[in-house]
Structure 1
Amino acid sequence: MLSGVHDRDRDFGEYVDARALVMRRTAYLLCGDWHRAEDLVQTALAKMYAVWPRLVRVESLDAYARKVLVRTAIDESRLAFRRRETAVSAVPDSAFDSADVASRLDVRAALAALPARQRAVVVLRYWDDQSIEETARILGCSTGTVKSQASKGLAALRRLLEPAGEVR
């Protein structure tokens, strides 16, 4: 019995070591804050750990983890009473071209301005490179909803990111 617990912990630890960074990046794109992203990942991993022995039957652990993470982010964004804190951004690991940094910040700010479901669709489709069908499965909605939310999300991003004064 004790050996099974150690195997479970070891297997889960190996999975976390291999995937936590990717999950954190995805969570950041969903919420726009590194500290909240870390909280989202921890919550998602805690949910996964609780059912870890049953996950051996799951076809793709990464897809399941993505689904738990996205749903956790959407649930968290719905909690209006939750106190929001804005953290100071961490110092980047390397120097970037200032124009590149400004572009990244603009995209992140624009993503943060999208409603939670649109942001989840855009991140899953265009950052995580998921198919329409996989995105629908992760979010528990129809493929038509994914297409609609992706279209609306991309249109909103275009509006938010177009240079001031430019008219289309």
Structure 2
Amino acid sequence: MDRYEGFHEFVRARQQSLMRTAYLLTGNAHLAEDLLQTVLTRVASHWAKLAKGGNPEAYARRALVNQSISWRRRRHVELPGAELPELAESGQPHDEATVRRLALLQTLAQLTPKQRAVIVLRFYEDRSEHETARLMGVSLGTVKSQTNYALSKLRALTPQEVYR
């Protein structure tokens, strides 16, 4: 039996979802690709154990969160903020939805790694507090406090026009 049996199917089925999470954690498509590749390498090395009785997707998501936090701590990687250009390529101003999305991305880049991970898991992926705590490997209280701090920071840093 091939020790990677089922791994390629797992990657094909979950790659887009995992890539979206990686992008939301990093805010940069190239960093997200690197992050996902690093994590999938780790998943592949543990595949025999994960395929038998583990949960490969939960392992991959937790590894994405942990690795993204680790990269930012170790390398002091600054996540790029979204610039708010005055005009689109067509010469017309950006529509309201685009301005909101760019402002939110810019603000998310200013959160700490744990705060960003909590926001991504809780609100983008619609995970419960318990699931978020399990995926991040922290206590439920940490998830609640980090969510509170992150939302307060988002409210303070996001331009008021975004909420209209």
TM tier, smaller: 0.7 to 0.9
* Structure 1: 4+ residue segments shifted above 6 A: none
Asked whether 1:119 is paired with 2:116, we answer: yes
| Equivalent position of 2:102 in the other structure | 105
| Residues 85 and 119 (structure 1), Cα distance of their counterparts in 2 relative to 1, 3 Å cut | closer
Q: Say whether the 8 Å CA contact 1:24–1:38 is kept in structure 2.
A: yes
| Equivalent position of 1:90 in the other structure | none
Q: Say whether the 8 Å CA contact 1:31–1:37 is kept in structure 2.
A: yes
Q: 2 CA distance for matches of 1:37 and 1:116?
A: 14
Count of residue pairs the alignment pairs up: 149
1:113-152, Cα deviation, whole Å (9 max, x unpaired): 1000110111111111111111111111110010000011
1:67-103, Cα deviation, whole Å (9 max, x unpaired): 0111111111112366x696xxxxxxxxxx7221221
The TM-score with structure 2 as length reference comes to: 0.82
Asked whether 1:16 is paired with 2:11, we answer: yes
| Equivalent position of 1:80 in the other structure | 75
Q: 2 CA distance for matches of 1:47 and 1:37?
A: 15
Q: 1 CA distance for matches of 2:105 and 2:132?
A: 20
Q: Say whether the 8 Å CA contact 2:132–2:143 is kept in structure 1.
A: yes
Unaligned regions of 5+ residues in structure 2, if any? Answer: 81-93
The TM-score with structure 1 as length reference comes to: 0.81
Q: 2 CA distance for matches of 1:136 and 1:40?
A: 21
How far off is 1:10 after superposition?
4.7
Q: Which of structures 1 and 2 has the larger relative contact order (alpha carbons within 8 angstroms, sep 6+)?
A: 1
